[in-house]
Structure 1
Amino acid sequence: MQTGKAALGSTAFFVLAPGGVAGLVPWLLTRWQLQPFWLPFRILGVFVLVIALAVLISAFARFVTEGFGTPAPVAPPDRLVVGGLYRHVRNPMYLAVLSLILGQALLFGQWILMPYAVVVSLAFAAMVHWHEEPVLRRDFGAQYDTYRAAVPGWWPRLRPWRQS
């Protein structure tokens, strides 16, 4: 896929998928209204939101620049994406989206977002297990198996994985 098309597709998917799951639904649940809450938790919420957004943008950009595709299943990357944050954890996008939801819970003091985060995390885990991993194994074979064996799916490793 051409880089321009990949960037446009990734941008559209960014708005639709993470934008819906971590933006629209939390807004519908909370209207982003501030509830009485302890100030240090609000500050932590802002910190989590900023870091999570940076991680999410970085992961999306990696699909365009390294994978020559998008994170969207309809326009997958031509190459397995294993650089950047993907050297530490296989699912940085999902972790970033969950962190965006949790960051909003802390910032706004809206606890309704906690069970929503649990539901979203279960949906993500199911998507990875029953769809993404089989597709990646089919498309990238031994390369994916090596990567999967070296890099954890959900708990980031401290030292970045290096391909041999």
Structure 2
Amino acid sequence: MRKPVAILGSAVFFVVVPCAIAGLVPWWITRWQFRDPFLGTWVTQAVGVTLIVAGLPGLVDSIRRFAVEGFGTPAPVAPTQILVVTGFYRHVRNPMYLSVLAIILGQGLLFGDWRLVAYGAAFWTICHLFVIAYEEPTLHHAFSAEYEAYQRNVPRWLPRLTPWRKG
């Protein structure tokens, strides 16, 4: 896939998928109405804002890297041609999912709404099953030894503190 097409495809993916999952659905659940903060303190809301702010750059950067470095999109119908192992991908194999999860959970804390926390847990569970059943086998098939080395060195969900450097 050529880079301009990959950039356009990734931009469309961003608007359709993560914006719906981390924006439209949380709005539909909460109408973004504040409830009493968890634990009765504004600190939980501050943590929520921090999670949202932390999740946004990870999401945007991950999608950008798929297009610019991988010459593809996050969508399974137009995958990357090159394994992306830079940026946040040097710390964790699934920064895009973790970023969306941080945004969802951040909104749950900000709005004091357990429904969003439950939605975040459901989102992560679905992502985990998708990663195990589809993504990892597909990446192994497409990138073989390169992906195996990446898998051995970079955790699936809990980020490593020091960035991994490809071989």
Asked if residue 125 in structure 1 is aligned to residue 138 in structure 2, the reply is: no
Unaligned runs of 5+ in 1: none
What is the number of residues matched between the two proteins?
Answer: 164
Asked if residue 43 in structure 1 is aligned to residue 7 in structure 2, the reply is: no
Shift of 1:4: 1.1
What's the counterpart of residue 77 of structure 1? 80
Shift of 1:31: 0.5
Q: Deviations over 1:61-103 (max 9, x none)?
A: 1111210111111110110000111000000000001111000
What's the counterpart of residue 106 of structure 2? 103
Q: In angstroms, what is the RMSD of aligned CA positions?
A: 0.8
Shift of 1:118: 1.1
Q: How far apart, CA to CA, are the structure 2 residues paired with 1:43 and 1:114?
A: 16
Match of 1:62 among 43, 48, 65: 65
Q: How far apart, CA to CA, are the structure 1 residues paired with 2:36 and 2:123?
A: 25
What's the counterpart of residue 31 of structure 1? 31
Shift of 1:152: 0.3
Q: Which moved more, 1:57-66 or 1:123-132?
A: 57-66
Asked if residue 162 in structure 1 is aligned to residue 165 in structure 2, the reply is: yes
Shift of 1:3: 1.3
Give identity over the alignment, percent. 50
AA at the equivalent of 2:35: Q
Q: Deviations over 1:129-157 (max 9, x none)?
A: 00000100110011101100110000000
What's the counterpart of residue 116 of structure 2? 113
AA at the equivalent of 1:59: S
Q: How far apart, CA to CA, are the structure 2 residues paired with 1:119 and 1:108?
A: 18
Q: Which runs of 4+ in 1 moved over 3 A?
A: none
Q: How far apart, CA to CA, are the structure 2 residues paired with 1:65 and 1:87?
A: 16
- TM (normalized to structure 1)? 0.97
SS in 2 for 1:112: helix
- TM (normalized to structure 2)? 0.95
Match of 1:150 among 150, 153, 156: 153
AA at the equivalent of 1:133: E
What's the counterpart of residue 140 of structure 1? 143
Q: Which moved more, 1:131-140 or 1:19-28?
A: 19-28
